[in-house]
Amino acid sequence: MNYGLDLPDYPWDTLAPYRARAAEHPDGVCDLSIGTPVDPTPEVIREALAAGADSHGYPQTAGTPELRAAIAGWYSHWHGIELDPETSVMPTIGSKELVAWLPTLLGLRQRGLRVACPAASYPTYEMGATLAGVECVRIDAADVVSGDASLEGVGLLWLNTPGNPNGEVLDRTVLAAVAERARAAGTIVASDECYALLNWNGAEATPSILDPAVTGGDPTGLLSVYSMSKQSNLAGYRAAFTAGDPVLVGDLTNSRKHAGMIVPGPVQTAMIAGLTDTAHVEEQKERYRARRAELLPAVEAFGLRVDHSDAGLYLWCTRGEDCWDTLGALAERGIVAGPGAFYGDAARQHVRIALTASDERIAAAAARLRGA
C-alpha cells in the first residue's frame, strides 16, 4: 500500500552519477548546479537574529508592524513602488513555500481552475499545481501578449522575471499587457521576482509587476513574490514576502493563520535588518558580478552559447544537443551544472550554470573550461 502524496523523486537526486564523475577530477569538483548562496550571512542580519532570540510568544502571521513597514520600504527604495504596509504586504517562510502552496490557498481545485507557468521554469510552479490537485499548463508571457495562448480556465498565472533558469527579464510593456489580459480573464498573476536586484545590464532593479506603469495604479489580481535568500545570503533563514492586491494579501494571511504558516519571530527581526541595510546588498551583487565576468567568457570558449542571462545567478547555456550530453562533457572537466530537462521540455537542450560558488571554485571552473 502506498501512503502520502506519491510524488515523483526529487529531480536533483538524478545528478548523482555526474557528481561522481566530476569528483574524480584531481583538483576536485566545481559544483555549479544549485543556486544556494555560499557567502556569509551579513553581520548586521546575524546580530538582529540574536537580538530577537527572546521570542517567547507566538509571532504574527501578517508580520510585525516593523517588518511590514520594512517590506514596504524595500519596494519604495528599490522599485519606487509605494505600498500600504498595513494591507498590502505579508512575510512568508521562504518563497518556495508560497510558490508550492499558493494554488491550494487560492482554492483553485474547488473552483475548477488550472495553473499556468512559463515553458522553461522553476519546477515548483508545476509541483504547486500537483499538490493542489489541479492541471498545470505552460504559457509564456509573450504568448499571452500576442494572444497565441488563452487564459480561459487559468486561475493562477506564474511569471518569473528575472527568470530561473534562463535569466530573461520582462519589461514594463510586456508586464502591463499580461496584467491587462489576465484581469480580463479573471486570472490572478503572481510574479516571482527573487532575482530582481541581480541585474547585469543596468543600474535599476528589474521591473516589478507592481510598478505603477504596469498596474495603472490598480494592483487588483496582482502579486509580487520576493526572497531574501539571494540578495542577503539568507537561504537558511527562510525569509521572503509577497505584496500586491490588498484583498488577496488579506485572504492569504487569513488562510495562513489557520494553517500555522508563520515566519518565526527571530527571523522577522532579522528580515527588518536585511531589508533596511542596503550596503550588504550592493556588496553581494558585486561579488556575483565579478564571478559572472570570470565565468561567462570561459563558458563561451568551451563552445556554449549563452542565452538571455541578463539578470540572476545563472548562465543559460546550450551547444544544440541534449542537456545530458552537455552535462557529461562538463563532468569530464570536474564541473557539475543543472540540466535543462528539470525546467520543462522546452529547456532540454540547455544547461544552467550557477554563479553560486566561491571565487576560487569559479576561477577553477573557468580555467578548466578554457582548457588550461
Note the pLDDT tens digit of each residue in 267-324.
999 999 999 999 999 999 999 999 999 999 999 999 999 999 999 999 999 999 999 9
- Average pLDDT on 19-38 reads 95
Please give the pLDDT value at position 147: 93
Q: How far is it, in rounded angstroms, from Cα 361 to Cα 357?
A: 6
Pick from 307, 279, 327, 270: nearest CA to 169 = 307
Residues 287 and 259 in one domain: no
**pLDDT class of 257 with cuts at 50, 70, 90:** very high
What pLDDT score was predicted for residue 1? Answer: 61
> What's the pLDDT at 204?
80
What CATH number is attached to the domain comprising 342? 3.90.1150.10
Q: Are residues 172 and 313 in the same domain?
A: no
Q: What is the DSSP letter of 307?
A: E
CATH code: domain of residue 102 = 3.40.640.10
pLDDT for 130 equals 96
Q: What average pLDDT does the segment 63-76 reach?
A: 98
Residue 193 lies in a domain: yes
- Summarised one tens digit per residue, pLDDT across range 325-349 is 999 999 999 999 999 999 999 999 9
Distance CA 101, CA 291 (A): 34
Residue 85 CA to residue 72 CA, distance in Å, equals 6
Same domain, 250 and 332: no
Q: What pLDDT shows up at residue 284?
A: 97
Number of domains in the chain: 2
Residue 12 predicted with pLDDT over 80: no
pLDDT-wise least confident of 60-64, 129-133, 368-372? 368-372
Residue environment code for 102-129, b if the CB has 16+ CB neighbours within 10 A, otherwise e: bbbbbebeeeebbbbbbbbbbbbbbbbb
Phi first, then psi: what are they for 315, rounded to 5°?
-110, 125
Provide mean pLDDT across the span 206-228: 97
What confidence tier does 10 reach under pLDDT thresholds 50, 70, 90?
confident
Question: What is the structure's pLDDT at 77?
Answer: 97
Q: What integer pLDDT is reported at residue 8 of this predicted model?
A: 78
Q: For the whole model, what pTM was predicted?
A: 0.95
Q: What is the pLDDT of residue 267?
A: 98
Is the domain of 270 the same as that of 323?
Answer: no
Q: pLDDT at position 18, please?
A: 94
Question: Do residues 215 and 99 share a domain?
Answer: yes
pLDDT above 70 (res 230): yes
- Domain boundary residue, one of 243, 276, 309: 276
Lowest mean pLDDT among 4-13, 129-138, 141-150: 4-13
- Residue 2: inside a domain, yes or no? no
What was the pLDDT predicted at 372? 60
3-state secondary structure of 5: coil
Q: How many CA atoms lie within 13 A of 190 on its CB side?
A: 28
Taking residues 110-136, what's their average pLDDT?
97
Domain that holds residue 253: 43-276
Residue 51 lies in a domain: yes
C-alpha–C-alpha distance, residues 23 and 336, integer Å:
9
Residues 6+ apart with CB under 8 A from 360: none
Comparison of pLDDT for 117 and 202, the residue scoring more: 117
Between CA 289 and CA 291 the distance in angstroms is: 5
Residue 6 lies in a domain: no
**Where a domain ends, among 276, 305, 325?**
276
Among residues of the chain, what percentage have pLDDT more than 90? 94
